């Protein structure tokens, strides 16, 4: 066995992720790229903005003339989507302008309507209110120049990125293909979700939770049949799953008599990078690789603990970063933020703990509190949580008011 601490385990995962070959690419429609990783950069097809743009409703003027307090004759109005077709704005003139409209020639600033006195066909700045050249105007090309890279390869496409691509006329994008992930839940106690379980049985929630997390992380999830705690079934599922890009097994990785996953993986010639992590929940997590042989490619695998919270915590910590790299993304660890503890919490020396918690969305001082739970099989508690409080294993306890790390999910 090779049991390592949390930081070492994450280092190993990211090290292996960095060695992955980039996946193949495909061209998809812009909205189909959401959640996918760009394989090719996107460049601006013209200056952004393509004209000097007003950021306020007001009047396009020459700043110096407006600041002098003189009356300026209003020539007309220009709206967003139009352009000023009249003469250039002179020293004693102004053009009413709407937010987003192009600045008329001759004007060099926009006076906000709130700071203007208006008469019949004229305006004047309110007393003591000056105006600087360029005020309330976004210059042409200040956001991006034509030909400039605005989205680099490796970018994960979200709403902001889709908006940028759409602005540049990229109706289609070139993205990396999503990795195909085989999911195997093991255990005699498991039955299908739509089955009526007996008292000693439970529904296979892990298969669905893993499929949901794989999809969110950019993969294509395939749930294989449940593997009973019988060597032949575990062997058959691993044989089926190893032809996929990544194999995830839940359950069967502890030290019990019927925990067969590691033994069977060894029969396939598995190389184990670690077989346990000093963390709670999730200590018996396994990461390794099946070698290429008999005409089959190599296949990385994760063996996750069977208890639902253990499964999900270890996925977020180790599988998700690896899977994002397989999808062509940047090699980086899970997403941690800082929050203030709302209550005292006991520590557990020697084990990093990641406990179900809720973090507030307070802008100034986000706070985190633990969710009461009955152990790593408490699916209900996990559903009430929105994060995991991270409690390092070098402390006897943590006091209310301390700042700790929080694992987002």
Q: Tell me what pLDDT residue 252 has.
A: 84
Q: What is the pLDDT of residues 296-314, one digit of tens each?
A: 999 999 999 999 999 999 9
Assess if CATH 1.20.1420.30 describes domain 53-138: no
What's the N-to-C CA distance of the chain in angstroms? 29
Q: What is the pLDDT of residue 390?
A: 97
pLDDT of residue 294: 85
Res 211 pLDDT > 90: yes
User: Over the stretch 229-248, which tens digit does the pLDDT of each residue have?
Assistant: 999 999 999 999 999 999 99
Position 386 scores a pLDDT of 97
What CA–CA distances, in Å, run from 117 to 65, 69, 70, 72, 320? 14, 10, 11, 10, 59
- Tell me, what's the pLDDT at 128? 86
All CATH 3.90.105.10 domain ranges in the chain, comma separated? 27-47+150-176
**Which superfamily does 3-23+178-326 belong to?**
MoaB/Mog-like domain (3.40.980.10)
Q: Which helix (H) or strand (E) holds 270?
A: none
Span(s) in the chain for CATH 2.40.340.10? 336-408
Taking residues 259-263, report their average pLDDT. Answer: 91
Q: What is the pLDDT of residues 47-95, one digit of tens each?
A: 999 999 999 999 999 999 999 999 999 999 999 999 999 999 998 999 9
pLDDT value at residue 89: 97
pLDDT tens column, 122-176: 999 998 889 999 999 999 999 999 999 999 999 999 999 999 999 999 999 999 9
Q: Give the chain's mean pLDDT.
A: 96
Note the pLDDT of residue 72. 97
Beta strands in 164-270 (DSSP E): 172-176, 180-185, 190-191, 202-203, 220-223, 246-250
**Which tens digits make up the pLDDT trace of 4-48?**
999 999 999 999 999 999 999 999 999 999 999 999 999 999 999
Delimiting residues of CATH 2.170.190.11 domain(s) in the chain? 53-138
Tell whether omega for the bond before 343 is within 30 degrees of 0, i.e. cis. Answer: no
Superfamily of segment(s) 27-47+150-176: Molybdopterin biosynthesis moea protein, domain 2 (3.90.105.10)
Contact 317, 305 (CB under 8 A): no
CATH number of this structure's domain 336-408 = 2.40.340.10
What is the rounded average pLDDT of the residues 321-335? 97
pLDDT-based confidence at 293, cuts 50/70/90?
confident
Global pTM value:
0.91
**359 in Cβ contact with 339 (< 8 Å):** yes
Segment 185-197, tens digit of pLDDT: 999 999 999 999 9
| Phi, psi (rounded to 5 degrees) for 378 | -85, 85
What residues are paired with 189 via a beta bridge?
none
* Averaged pLDDT, 256-275: 90
The CATH 3.40.980.10 domain(s) of the chain lie at: 3-23+178-326
Distance CA 104, CA 95 (A): 8
Contact between 253 and 259 (Cβ < 8 Å): yes
pLDDT of residue 254 exceeding 80, the answer is no
Does residue 256 carry a pLDDT above 80?
Answer: no
Going by C-beta distance under 8 Å and a sequence separation of 6 or more, which residues neighbour residue 321? 10, 13, 14, 17, 331, 332, 333, 334
């Amino acid at each position: 066995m090779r049991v390592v601490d949390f930081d070492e385990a994450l280092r190993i995962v990211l090290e292996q992720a960095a060695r992955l070959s980039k996946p193949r690419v495909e061209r998809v429609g812009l909205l189909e790229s959401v959640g996918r990783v760009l394989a090719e950069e996107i460049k601006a097809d013209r200056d952004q903005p393509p004209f000097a743009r007003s950021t306020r409703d007001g009047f396009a003027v020459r700043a110096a003339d407006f600041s002098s307090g003189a009356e300026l004759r209003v020539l007309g109005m220009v709206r967003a989507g139009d352009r000023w077709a009249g003469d250039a704005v002179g020293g004693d003139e102004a053009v009413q302008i709407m937010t987003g409209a192009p600045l008329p020639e001759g004007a060099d600033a926009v006076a906000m309507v709130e700071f203007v006195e208006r008469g019949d066909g004229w305006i004047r700045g309110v007393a003591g209110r000056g105006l600087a050249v360029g005020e309330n105007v976004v210059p042409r090309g200040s956001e991006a120049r034509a030909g400039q890279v605005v989205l680099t390869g490796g970018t994960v496409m979200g709403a902001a990125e889709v908006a940028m691509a759409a602005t540049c006329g990229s109706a289609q994008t070139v993205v990396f293909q999503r990795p195909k992930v085989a999911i195997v839940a093991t255990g005699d106690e498991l039955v299908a979700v739509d089955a009526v379980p007996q008292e000693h049985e439970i529904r296979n929630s892990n298969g669905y939770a893993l499929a949901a997390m794989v999809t969110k992380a950019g993969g294509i999830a395939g749930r294989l049949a449940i593997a009973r705690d019988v060597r032949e079934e575990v062997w058959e599922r691993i044989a089926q799953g190893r032809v996929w890009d990544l194999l995830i097994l839940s359950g069967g990785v502890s030290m019990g008599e019927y925990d067969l996953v590691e033994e069977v993986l060894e029969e396939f010639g598995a190389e184990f990078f670690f077989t346990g992590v000093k963390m709670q929940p999730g200590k018996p997590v396994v990461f390794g690789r099946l070698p290429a042989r008999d005409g089959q490619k190599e296949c990385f695998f994760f063996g996750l603990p069977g208890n639902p919270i253990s499964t999900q915590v270890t996925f977020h910590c180790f599988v998700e970063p690896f899977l994002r790299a397989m999808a062509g993304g940047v090699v980086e660890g899970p997403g941690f933020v800082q929050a203030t503890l709302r209550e005292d919490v006991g520590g557990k020396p020697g084990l990093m703990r990641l406990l179900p918690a809720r973090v507030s969305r307070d802008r100034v001082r986000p706070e985190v509190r633990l969710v009461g739970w009955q152990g790593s099989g408490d699916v209900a508690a996990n559903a009430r949580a929105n994060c995991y409080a991270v409690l390092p294993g070098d402390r006897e306890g943590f006091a209310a008011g301390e700042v700790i790390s929080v694992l987002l999910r």
